[in-house]
Structure 1
Amino acid sequence: MARQQVASMLAVALIIGAFASVPTSVQSIGVCYGILGNDLPSSSDVVQLYRSKGINGMRIYSPNKAALDALRGSGISLVLDVGNDKVGELAASPSNAASWVQNNVRPYYPAVNIKYIAVGNEVQGGATQSILPAMRNLNGALAAAGFGSIKVSTSVRFDAIADSYPPSNGVFAQSYMTDIARYLASIGAPLLANVYPYFAYRDNPRDIKLNYATFQPGTTVRDDGNGLTYTNLFDAMVDAIYAALEKAGAPNVRIVVSESGWPSAGGFAASVDNARTYNQGLIDHVGRGTPKRPGALEAYIFAMFNENQKTGDPTERNFGLFYPNKSPVYPIRF
């Protein structure tokens, strides 16, 4: 999960606003299932909790056997990460990718509804050069195994965008993202993006209003570059990524928000009220899409549980919708 968003980039997406708030049903809201805790329920109990709450999408961060076994026959659609430690290996040879598919997809699919495979989550530095060859090798291995309907992508953090204010200025910060965008266009796959208004607000509360960051009314700003108006920071951030995709020559690539959330404790503006307001707002909002791309937007909330073994800021351990005992941190409607 992106935790060190560059303040100047995110401050950038600040004051933007106005999209109609007509309620629509959310077709696909998922929740990320992290397992960095020593007190979490069993995977079978977790899948049962997803189903009981009507959560129809899950993301897991590695091919965890217990989670994959528990998902059999559940109908829950899955974003399956290969794990950042495997990206270089998958990039090294098609045979490595074929082995990965044989070990981690064939035993489960289609009983487990694997929808996307994420080749890396917020990969940084020199390792970014391995993402595209790994995606190519994995896509080829899936096709050879008869699993071509599973879409291969990578999950990026928001600072992959160099200029996000106003959203129409959005452009990729590095050339490797342009190559990835064009490849996604060629295979009909979405770009997975982690979008966190929380970090933008935390890093620039002077210019970004809390109501604008949490889907509450009160701020409306026009983007003269595209003629659109925005009432929330989430839409502004997503549309900045769409603008970057267009500039990269991949205007038809759609975005799947692979993480978004708000912490309930542990730091600035991290409270139960703010977390509930943001996450309920996200659930209620994504069925409408964004001003630039109306229509249902697929999104995954981070995260299902508070994870007591996550490192970093205390907020990292307080993004969960539920405590490990499966009781809700706050009321939420799916």
Structure 2
Amino acid sequence: MVAGVCYGMVANNLPSRSDVVQMYRSKGITGMRLYSPDAQALSALRNSGISLMIDVGGTDQLAYLAASGSNASAWVRTNVQAYQGLTIKYIVAGNEVQGGDTQNIVPAIRNLNAALSAVGLGGIKVSTSVRFDVVANSYPPSAGVFAQAYMTDVARLLSSTGAPLLANVYPYFAYRDNPRDIQLNYATFRPGTTVRDDNNGLTYTSLFDAMVDAIYAALDKAGTPGLRVVISESGWPSASGFAATPDNARAYNQGLIDHVGGGTPKRPGTLLETYIFAMFNENFKLGDLVEKHFGLFNPDKSPAYTIRF
């Protein structure tokens, strides 16, 4: 069972925060990812029973948290302790951080862990959310290795704290960029394609599993074979791009929901906690037009296509 749905707010036409929380509850969605500690959303989520993954915000916030323990303590006071009745599962110290900002990930996680422990909230796990391209040599999956050294430091820190590595995994973009070599059915959980990894003998029927197992292979090589992975974003757009149709989006996201309870070939039988991107189509998203069409729902709350949770 998928753990949750990402609640992005890069739009000017979305329902109120309290209406959104009611939508999650009415649909039986038990987890939410918030991309910043939005005060109105956190207030609406009190006593909702929805478990939360909360991002600290942008790279400026990451740098602020990395700079000192007192900054992290202030952040925890303002964004965690100030709200009673929340179920916070993860705090995300940076989303898809790149370049020189990656040096702030480890100190920010350390400072947040210390700040949370100091006020008796050490059960909240702090991690960072990475793009799939932190892995090099992702085919075959067993060849996966981290592209840069900082990821080994991140993995070892997370391994020591019991926090999972959060990863954003999008078969859609892999397929869009290489439709000659990747079959659409393989990318969307439809049957018909099997790929064998000759290095370890495992067989794959979905690109999603192959991508996740490449991350596991990289973790093995970083000396952290026991580290859990949580999929902090995955989804498929329904309009305005190559292969972006309601049918493909439904096939992928329904396939994802139905699939992740069984784990992957490298980690079978282990629930793979996953957050679908995203709750709504967001009209102010930048980049390719397709970025505006990842929502399960339209801003008027109508479904973009039918899906069962």
Under a length normalisation based on structure 1, what TM-score does the superposition of the two structures give?
A: 0.91
1:165 aligned to 115, 130, 139, which one? Answer: 139
Gaps of 5+ in 2: none
Q: 1:240 Cα deviation (Å)?
A: 0.4
Aligned to 1:18: none
CA-to-partner distance for each residue in 1:189-222, whole Å, 9 max, x for gaps? Answer: 0000000000000000000000000001111111
CA-to-partner distance for each residue in 1:144-168, whole Å, 9 max, x for gaps? Answer: 1110000000000000001110110
Give the percent of matched residue pairs that are identical in Structure 1 and Structure 2: 73
- Is 1:124 matched up with 2:102? no
1:304 aligned to 279, 285, 294, which one? Answer: 279
Distance 2:186 2:8 in 1: 28
- Is 1:136 matched up with 2:110? yes
Task: Map 1:174-323 to 2 at 5 A.
Answer: 174-294=148-268, 295-323=270-298
Distance 2:199 2:142 in 1: 6
Aligned to 2:31: 57
Q: 1:29 Cα deviation (Å)?
A: 2.4
CA-to-partner distance for each residue in 1:125-161, whole Å, 9 max, x for gaps? Answer: 1000111111101111010111000000000000000
Q: 1:224 Cα deviation (Å)?
A: 1.6
Aligned to 2:76: 101
CA-to-partner distance for each residue in 1:65-111, whole Å, 9 max, x for gaps? Answer: 111111111111100000122000100010100100000010125x1
- Is 1:33 matched up with 2:7? yes
What amino acid does structure 2 have at the position aligned with 1:302?
F
Distance 1:321 1:51 in 2: 15
Q: Alignment partner of 1:297: what SS?
A: coil
Distance 1:253 1:203 in 2: 29
Under a length normalisation based on structure 2, what TM-score does the superposition of the two structures give?
A: 0.98
Distance 1:158 1:50 in 2: 27
Distance 1:258 1:215 in 2: 19
Aligned to 1:154: 128
How many residues are aligned here? 307
CA-to-partner distance for each residue in 1:23-80, whole Å, 9 max, x for gaps? Answer: xxx1x42100000111000011001000111101100000001111111111111000
Q: 1:293 Cα deviation (Å)?
A: 0.8
What amino acid does structure 1 have at the position aligned with 2:276?
I
Gaps of 5+ in 1: 1-25
What amino acid does structure 1 have at the position aligned with 2:140?
P
Higher RCO, Cα 8 Å, sep 6+: 1
